[in-house]
Amino acid sequence: MRTMTEIQELPTTTPLLSVTEAAATKIKQLLAEEPDVGVLRIAIQGGGCSGFQYGLGFDTAAADGDHAFEQHGVTVVVDPFSAPYLQGAEVDYVDSIQAAGFAVNNPNAVSSCGCGHSFQVAEGETPEDSAAGCGSGCSH
């Protein structure tokens, strides 16, 4: 396992993104159910209805070059490619009569798909190979 000194960290005064207390509570609950994991990995991937989609999953530790920080007792890691697209975003957990799950509130998204799982950034910021037509990633 890597130590925190081997992981690229952002200044503690300006975290890359934030995790709400509700999200942290749910993440800790899910982490307790999974063996051999210890961090939440957040990434963006090409695809989805709007060009990009969010990926949230558990990992054993941060990889070389990852941005890592802790909030509300949860360690979060973000790869260098995803970091600019997630700057200033907020991860929340919503549990309502209409939906339950994690939601990413991203100020870098200029539009989002109706399913809420994919987004588009300002023109010129999208890699050419990540564009996808509507319906390519939504199941809602």
What does the alpha-carbon distance between residue 119 and residue 48 come to, in Å, rounded to a whole number?
Answer: 8
**140 residues of the chain, pLDDT tens digit each:** 455 545 555 444 567 899 999 999 999 999 999 999 999 999 998 776 667 888 999 999 999 999 999 999 999 999 999 999 899 999 999 998 888 899 888 888 765 655 444 445 555 544 433 333 333 344 43
Domain residue ranges of the chain, discontinuous segments joined by +: 4-124
Nearest to 84 by CA among 100, 67, 101: 67
- Spell out the CATH class of 4-124: mainly beta
From the list 64, 96, 60, the residue with the least C-alpha distance to 80 is: 64
pTM given for the model:
0.69
Residue 120's H or E segment, with its range, is strand 118-120
